[in-house]
Structure 1
Amino acid sequence: MTLKSERLKGPDGLRGFAALWVVLYHLWSALQRRDTDWVWGYVSDFFEYGFLGVDIFFVLSGFVIAYSLTGRFIDNLFVPRFLVRRSIRIDPPYWLTIVLALIFIGMKNIVFQEYAEPLPSFENIFVHVLYLQDLLGYEAISSVFWTLCLEFQFYIIFSTLLWLFFKGKNALLGNINGFVFVSVLCFVFLSVFFRFSSLSFPVSGTIIPYAYEFSLGIIACQYITGRAHINQLVVVCLIAFFCSYFYKGAIFAVVPIFAVVLMVGSAVGGKFFSFLNCRALQYLGRISYSLYLTHAIVGWATISFLVKIFSNWPSPFITVLIFLSGFSVSIIFANIFYVAVEKYFIGLSKKISRARVVNVRI
């Protein structure tokens, strides 16, 4: 297989699972105004930890961006060209979702007057447009937008580092040397420390506390493309695992490593990982960005409305129907949003000229 000859399906399937997990988490949270004590403990625990789907997204982002840029020739215009392509890909759907959130806040203020809230200020909307709300301390318009701030920070930092280290060369083709490897280990430790320890990073809203997960994805990409040894990948994963386990606990330590194992396993063709290629996960992976952006608005609003309508019907059966209704509306709306909005900008971003790339064998 050549690096640029085919699209890896494993990351798409894993992205679909991560999106599904986050959706279940938010919809389950919206359902908590009803009695859910009857739900089997393992099921409710799975839903309640769905926020960790975001951690899978961060590992995936490091992997996918590194994979897409491996072998890319780094010229003087590499950074702005890369950022323009990413902006065209993610900004318009995000901006439209901000508008959607404002509309739903207005509708909520009419339907649920007891939960009325003022519309975000113009300043708040403006800093959201620029992905600066967390850095500048503004209240979130939607509960999912904070991750996009970190994603864009990653794009800026990673593309700039590639330009600094590979200018005039093809990116990420050299093997990881000892200095880089030790630097990565130290960085991973510090990142986990600032995320989970009692000592927070001095500046809020930065990528630093989550940077180790992006790094795990990059190292995993380097391994499957033959630029990192398996020992290097294992050591980085162990550092991330044990530091996370020490400061926070098992589930926070396992999930990012779980994502790495699934990506690497699917990339090398392991049959055990073929479930990631199933049509359902591939479909969810395809619409995952639209689903992630809109579900916390549309799905949450659907469940909140139905909870109010059926407040005098405490039946578990009605509770299940409400939950399934919110889930179905989230999927249907995300599919429409993908077809009507996101898909167009995916195609438009691909029209931006790329630097030449060499074909690299795995």
Structure 2
Amino acid sequence: MVTATVQGLASRAQGRLRGLDGLRFIAAAGVVAYHYTGKAIGYWGHVAPAAKFPSLNELTRYGFIGVEFFFMISGFVILMTAYGRGVEDFVASRFSRLFPAYWAAVVITVVLQLFWHSGRGLKPVEVFVNFTMMQEGFNIVNAQGAFWTLWVELKFYLLIGIFVLAGITRKRVIAFALIWPVFGQLAAATHESLLVSLLVPTYAPYFAIGMLLYLIYRDGGDIVVWLGVALNLVWCVHHISNYAPKVSKLVGAPVSPMVLSIIVVIMVAAIWSVSAGPLAIIDWRWLTVAGALTYPLYLIHGQFGFFVIDQLHNVLHPYIALLVAFLVSLGLAAALHYGVENTLHYRLRSTVRAALNKVGRTAEVKPKRGNPAPHPEVAPGVSAE
């Protein structure tokens, strides 16, 4: 993601950042292309995608970096949504954005796996844990392979939630974006497994760059912020270059660290361009639709696309089978967005926010020493409902 999957781009007073919607869809399309024609999977029969799509694979083998792009965009967008908000609003916003489509994706994926035995077979208890979005923490298989990124996103949300409680300011964001990746790397170097899990050092620089780019968009850049971007960019290049050999094995073809490094630089430039740079004037409405489909497409494309490929690769021309797999995934994504997200998001957000506000008001009611506590239903500041 999705970035981690992330929906609900906040808006400037003068309008929505539609360019970011477009970048999110590009990131999702890259991940989908990587999974269908880049990574060596068994659903194309005995021929690897690198051999079945030799020309296309030259490009799509790099599509996995869409995940890192999601994390970078998430750093921008989540800081945007958290800035100036209370923790109740932040939690309600994130919960209502992530879970409705995710729950629906888990349900229909499990239904698919009931009769498609080449997919991921989950035990009932594993299905229930998947509903919590915390299966990675329990070392339980994800219903969809892409779900692992949501665990990374949740950790970022936790850190931002703590940040909201402390109070978000420009100076604190700059300090956080510089200190977090350093502490994460120190935790990795000293083998502090708990801190490594929490601070996600491999991906922290991507989130940090997104946060700093938001500051540039919001208040303008200065030398400190741009140096922070440059420093985190160096760390991103380091991490992605080290990952190249592993991806080469997954693809079954060489993946160039230099090409990956260039892509990371382009990612930074793209986010700056559509937010504070020359492409900020982009206001094409269809990009909002594309952005809205990004999260559900990311959630659903894996198992359903693989199912289509598994069934059709010996029946249709490979490119036709590929097109059908993408269209099926895109259609399911549209169904999730319009049938689930649009129906439940605002209602769920209001419900969660009201519940959290009620808990907060209740916590503020403290009985005087020596006197019995007032009855909860008539306590000052607490609704009797």
Per the shorter chain, which TM-score range? 0.7 to 0.9
Give the distance between the partners of 1:240 and 1:339, measured in 2 at CA.
37
Give the distance between the partners of 1:267 and 1:243, measured in 2 at CA.
23
Question: Judging changes above 3 Å, is the alpha-carbon distance between structure 1 residues 71 and 157 closer, same or farther for their aligned structure 2 residues?
Answer: same
2:146 is paired with a residue of what secondary structure?
Answer: coil
Report the alpha carbon displacement of residue 63 of structure 1 after superposing the two structures with TM: 0.6
Matches within 5 A, 1:126-137: 126-137=128-139
Aligned-residue CA RMSD in angstroms? Answer: 3.1
Matches within 5 A, 1:170-319: 171-172=168-169, 175-176=170-171, 181=174, 184-191=177-184, 202-203=193-194, 206-209=198-201, 210-226=203-219, 229-247=221-239, 248=242, 249-271=257-279, 281-307=287-313, 309-310=314-315, 318-319=317-318
Q: Which has the higher contact order (CA 8 A, sep 6+)?
A: 1
Contact 1:135–1:206 (8 Å) recurs in 2:
no
Counterpart in 1 of 2:69?
56
Matches within 5 A, 1:162-177: 162-164=164-166, 166=167, 171-172=168-169, 175-176=170-171
Report the alpha carbon displacement of residue 47 of structure 1 after superposing the two structures with TM: 1.2
Give the distance between the partners of 1:201 and 1:344, measured in 2 at CA.
43
Question: Judging changes above 3 Å, is the alpha-carbon distance between structure 1 residues 188 and 55 closer, same or farther for their aligned structure 2 residues?
Answer: same
Give the distance between the partners of 1:201 and 1:253, measured in 2 at CA.
28
Counterpart in 1 of 2:79?
66
**Of 15, 18, 32, the match for 2:27:** 18
Contact 1:12–1:285 (8 Å) recurs in 2:
yes
Give the distance between the partners of 2:318 and 2:341, measured in 1 at CA.
32
- Segment drifting more, 238-247 vs 285-294: 238-247
Contact 2:305–2:329 (8 Å) recurs in 1:
yes
Give the distance between the partners of 2:320 and 2:218, measured in 1 at CA.
46
Give the distance between the partners of 1:207 and 1:283, measured in 2 at CA.
33
Give the distance between the partners of 1:183 and 1:157, measured in 2 at CA.
10
Q: What percent identity do the matched residue pairs reach?
A: 23
Question: Judging changes above 3 Å, is the alpha-carbon distance between structure 1 residues 155 and 103 closer, same or farther for their aligned structure 2 residues?
Answer: same
Contact 1:60–1:214 (8 Å) recurs in 2:
yes
Give the distance between the partners of 1:117 and 1:291, measured in 2 at CA.
18
Question: Judging changes above 3 Å, is the alpha-carbon distance between structure 1 residues 102 and 207 closer, same or farther for their aligned structure 2 residues?
Answer: farther
Contact 1:59–1:256 (8 Å) recurs in 2:
no
- Segment drifting more, 238-247 vs 124-133: 238-247
Report the alpha carbon displacement of residue 39 of structure 1 after superposing the two structures with TM: 3.5
Q: Which has the larger radius of gyration?
A: 2
**Of 113, 119, 122, the match for 2:122:** 119
1:235 is paired with a residue of what secondary structure?
Answer: helix
Which amino acid in structure 2 is aligned with residue 97 of structure 1? A
Paired residues, number:
321
Q: For structure 1, list consecutive stretches of 5 or more residues without a partner in the other structure.
A: 73-77, 110-114, 356-362
Contact 1:192–1:240 (8 Å) recurs in 2:
no
Q: Does 1:145 align with 2:123?
A: no
Q: Deviations over 1:106-135 (max 9, x none)?
A: 1212xxxxx47643241x223322222112
Question: Judging changes above 3 Å, is the alpha-carbon distance between structure 1 residues 120 and 193 closer, same or farther for their aligned structure 2 residues?
Answer: farther
Contact 1:242–1:253 (8 Å) recurs in 2:
no
Report the alpha carbon displacement of residue 84 of structure 1 after superposing the two structures with TM: 2.4
Q: For structure 2, list consecutive stretches of 5 or more residues without a partner in the other structure.
A: 1-10, 243-256, 357-385
Question: Judging changes above 3 Å, is the alpha-carbon distance between structure 1 residues 51 and 232 closer, same or farther for their aligned structure 2 residues?
Answer: same
Give the distance between the partners of 2:157 and 2:80, measured in 1 at CA.
13
Contact 1:105–1:117 (8 Å) recurs in 2:
yes
Counterpart in 2 of 1:344?
343
Q: Please, what TM-score do these two structures have when normalized by structure 1?
A: 0.77
Contact 1:192–1:212 (8 Å) recurs in 2:
no
- Segment drifting more, 278-287 vs 11-20: 278-287
Question: Judging changes above 3 Å, is the alpha-carbon distance between structure 1 residues 238 and 93 closer, same or farther for their aligned structure 2 residues?
Answer: same
Question: Judging changes above 3 Å, is the alpha-carbon distance between structure 1 residues 119 and 23 closer, same or farther for their aligned structure 2 residues?
Answer: same
Q: Deviations over 1:6-63 (max 9, x none)?
A: 211121111111111111112224564346526454x313212212111111111111
Give the distance between the partners of 1:52 and 1:264, measured in 2 at CA.
18
Which amino acid in structure 2 is aligned with residue 12 of structure 1? D
Report the alpha carbon displacement of residue 182 of structure 1 after superposing the two structures with TM: 5.4
